[in-house]
Amino acid sequence: MSEHSINNIPQITYDSAKKKHYLEFFFLKSFSVLWNLIPEKLAMFCSAQLSYTVKLFLTKRNTLALDKISQNLNVNNDTAQTILSESYINFACNWVAMVRSQKITVQIVKEHMNLIGFSQFEELKSQGRGAVIANMHLGWWEISPRIFHLLEIPLAVMVAVQHNPLSDKFINYYRSQGGYHSILHNRLSVRHTLRFLKNGGFLVIVADIDAGKNGIVVPFLNEQSSTSNWPAQLAVKTDSPIIVGINYEDENNKRTFEMQKAIDPRDYKNKNSIHDITLAMNNNMSALIERFPGQWFWLQRRWKSKL
């Protein structure tokens, strides 16, 4: 177990797997084996072709995504179509990268990736402070746990419980890196999360999703949205900065893993601190999407809540 593993986490109770779950898991497992057997470039090419096929069947979701791309990025339809196609490819390649992540070594990270902002973790560690890492559906986000593992930075990763218990356990094996990181399901008690951060742990939360009726209204990509204030609440309650962390391919086609400058709750002492911290987080994420629009997952319904 790692230095900051969370002890005595109550285990999630899954419903029994159904026949359709076994079928879904069979295809997930089969593709993961295939992607590891063939060369990386071929695996990425095949997954990209598969994404084109999937796109043909998601016409309603495509229409919604294209509307949001055109509206929030102020681009014409042709550009929006290109961005959406790139988004499909990126999503497919992200999952290939996840199931092949054990092939990533320390040497590959040091020689073939740009690492930006990681010195912040040593600084926080020397202060005895934790951090909330606001992750996004951008780039190859599912290989982030592998990179942190190789850099010897243990995490707790907060995840939503998937409808398929077999797939949930399979995906979380990669996210935990075989137990190096802790997995926190969002159905579990919050006291473990608070204790973890107060003890100087680093917690990963996916922060670019619609929060429904439980969110607060702040702009995201120039449009009002329901955003979870949970990262900001954790930051304030545990004196833990929020760091927007992303893994993307930069303008020079080099894989880059960037930890942006921390949003420190000590800089927000007014009565609107939760709102202001959440807004700062959204502004950081929005700027990244505007910079790399084709690497963000536009198919998620980020603005589905009626405000």
pLDDT digits (tens, 9 = 90+) for 104-162: 999 999 999 999 999 999 999 999 999 999 999 999 999 999 999 999 999 999 998 88
> If you ran DSSP here, which 8-state letter would residue 181 be given?
S
pLDDT (0 to 100) of residue 27: 94
Rounded to an integer, what distance in angstroms lies between the CA atom of residue 177 and that of residue 175?
A: 5
Provide the 10 A C-beta neighbour count for residue 202.
25
Nearest CA-CA partner of 169 in 38, 24, 4, 36: 24
pLDDT, residue 12, reads 74
Q: What is the pLDDT of residue 186?
A: 76
Nearest CA to 261 among 283, 238, 233, 229?
283
Q: Quick one: pLDDT at residue 10? A: 65
pLDDT band of residue 189 (cuts 50, 70, 90) is low
246 and 195 Cβ atoms separated by less than 8 Å: no
Q: What is the average pLDDT across 206-230?
A: 95
CA distance 174 to 85: 27
Widest distance between CA atoms in the chain: 55
Q: Express each pLDDT in 60-112 by its tens digit.
A: 999 999 999 999 999 999 999 999 999 999 999 999 999 999 999 999 999 99
Give per-residue pLDDT as tens, 260-271. Answer: 999 999 999 888
Task: Give the global pTM.
Answer: 0.93
Instruction: Kindly state the helix (H) or strand (E) to which residue 235 belongs, with its residue range.
Output: helix 230-238
CA-to-CA distance for 106 and 179, rounded, in angstroms?
A: 18
Coil vs helix vs strand at 245: strand
Per-residue pLDDT band at 37 (split at 50, 70, 90): very high
